[in-house]
Amino acid sequence: MALLLGSLFLPPAQPVQAVRAAPLPLERHYDNTGVAHEGRPDSAGLDGRGAALSARDLAAAGWPPGRALTVQGARLTWPRRPPGAPDNVRAAGQEVLITGRGDALAFLVTSTGGGPAGGSGTVTYADGSRSSYLLNAPDWRRGGLATKAVALPHVSTPAGRLAERARLYVVTVPLAPGRAVASVRLPYAPDLHVFSLAVRAAAPGWTGSWAASTSGQPPVGPWTDRTLRLVVHASAGGPRVRVRFDNTFASTPVRLGGATVALRAAGARALGAPVPLTFAGAAGAELPAGAQAVSDPLAFTVPAGADLLVSFHLPGTVTAVPSHGLAVQRAYLSGPGDHTADADGAAYGTTLTSRPLLAGIDVGGGPGSVVLLGDSLTDGDRSTADTDSSWPDVLAARLRRQDEVPRYGVLNHGIAGNRVVTDRYPGDGVSTVTTGVSALNRLDRDVFAQTSVRTLVVFEGINDLLAGTTPERLTAGLREIAERARLRGIRVLGTTLAPCGGLARCTPAVEAGRTAVNAWIRESGPFDAVLDADLALRDPAAPGRLLPAYDSGDHLHPGDAGYAALADSVDLRLL
């Protein structure tokens, strides 16, 4: 099972400190040099033995000294130090001066002991109260790629550069709600290196209205000087909007030359003139490898349930791009030129069935959002394209039509082919595989970093069983998801696994495993409530199969009627 980032790590014993030192900014604690000067490869030694990060590789990834980086919603700064100068802290209980209010602390870290390194630390708040946290990070040369922020192609040594991945991680840990942070005490773990630290700001006044998970980095085009126009079906509405682009899994930056938002008329045609987005006041933005760009708040009314057009220009040449693989909604690609301001859509002559780069839409106001974490059944596979017939879309429509509970935004983080405990896409490099890293390994990015999350619905696991994962391993993974979410103050709903009888791979052993997992979810799972997809979709005359009226024809995925039945079965009060 994947190693947890930021929790459930048993720390080494800490030395006794009689006097608590006065907090200092992180850079005042720098005691290790992690980035080597290209002309002096012996000028650094991240691991204490002369091996270090390459300044050339960092620059190529868009991580030069002093660069502000938004990763997992946190605004971090790569150390403003020249190569060959101290640029990180070996964690040894230092008191770090840092202030702000938010939902999490974000650490830009790695470890050098050959395995994970970490321990417990303490947050001190402005009111004098304290809370503890657990932090750990994988090794910079051996750790998993699925959870890294960026992987650099070389390790610098005094003997020359090695063609070997060097990993950096962003790890978040929860903060006490509503309290202002005054300082942070680092763990005692000398193999843990801390490059940057920030309070991730909460998002009061914003509701997540739409989202999609990055499921891989497939080859494209190449596209040179092209504009993409993506159709987004908003769940919640509001008087303001902001848009998020993610360069997850990439090794190089990508440039947005400009971007607009518009209400959709039909196809690629806008209802009125598209409105320009800005990024820190600029028309465009560069997304460093592994990082995000979030547009400035824009006064633009988004009607609940409306279709939006988000258009963005890629002025350079793009040969591969982080994407959501299954859109079930046509997107549009233009010929050469910046066509973000075009209203008529005539320039968009090519259609796509994926969602490159675009990752989230937030609207002003609202009660917060519900995240649906799942596989192809949540992604809407086999629903009718361009009709918003997935069960998350139908659930969002139900919420909009009622007044019994708040009209939450619904964020669909389903990935077709995804598994709970196994990475399908390895988390690094260009690949035609777009089935994503495991639910465990994308939990921080696709749930905890989402805007204004109130509730998590977990509907995933059948792909694990079909691939031979034992029920015990699957339920352990589901339990871990629930426990980690609960530590973040998020309500967690578990969903039983739907029938798959009639599918050749759905053997009696798979059915026995599904039955066992569903019994665990219903009777002993660690969830706040249970949604019973099995009961909603099965054929009463043959409980191991989908009801024929709900079956898309492949015996695994519902059709439109089945997805509607699943959404209609949800007791909205549980959300």
* Exposure class string for 231-258: b at 16+ Cβ within 10 A, else e: bbbbbbbbebbbbbbbbbbbbebbebbb
Q: Check: CB of residue 399 under 8 Å from CB of residue 410.
A: yes
Question: What residues form DSSP beta bridges with 550?
Answer: none
SS (H, E, C) 124-177: EECCCCEEEEEEEECECCCCCCCCCCEEECCEEECCEEECCCEEEEEEEEECCC
Range 344-356 average pLDDT: 97
What number of other Cβ atoms are within 10 A of residue 25's Cβ? 11
Domain extent listing, the chain: 26-200, 215-363, 367-575
Least confident of 17-31, 60-74, 119-133, 482-496: 17-31
For residue 134, give both structure tokens: 């657990």
> For the purposes of burial, counting CB atoms within 10 Å of the CB of 282, is it exposed (0-12), middle (13-18) or buried (19 or more)?
exposed
Range 139-160 average pLDDT: 96
Question: Measured over all CA atoms, what is the biggest interatomic distance in the chain, rounded to whole angstroms?
Answer: 74
Distance CA 369, CA 375 (A): 19
DSSP states of 514-534: HHHHHHHHHHT-S-SEEE-HH
* pLDDT over 70, % of the chain: 97
Q: In sequence order, what E strands does 365-509 have?
A: 369-374, 409-414, 453-459, 491-495
Q: What is the pLDDT of residues 388-435, one digit of tens each?
A: 999 999 999 999 999 999 999 999 999 999 999 999 999 999 999 999
Distance CA 522, CA 500 (A): 19
Range 18-35 average pLDDT: 88
What is this structure's pTM? 0.95
Task: Tell the residue number behind the tokens 């993409």, with chain if given.
Answer: 228
**pLDDT value, residue 203:** 84
Range 277-292 average pLDDT: 98
Range 95-124 average pLDDT: 97
pLDDT band at 20 (very low <50, low <70, confident <90, very high): low
**pLDDT value, residue 232:** 98
Range 176-200 average pLDDT: 97
C-alpha triplet 448, 445, 6: angle, nearest 5°: 70
Domain 367-575 falls under CATH 3.40.50.1110: yes
Q: Check: CB of residue 255 under 8 Å from CB of residue 227.
A: no
Q: Is the pLDDT of residue 210 over 90?
A: yes
Distance CA 451, CA 433 (A): 27
**pLDDT value, residue 21:** 77
The end-to-end CA distance of the chain, in Å, is: 29
**pLDDT value, residue 19:** 52
Q: Is the pLDDT of residue 7 over 60?
A: no
3-state secondary structure of 569: coil
Spell out the alpha helix ranges (H) of 401-501.
439-443, 462-466, 471-487
Q: Is the pLDDT of residue 3 over 50?
A: no
Q: Which residue type, as a one-letter code, is found at position 371?
A: V
**pLDDT value, residue 11:** 36
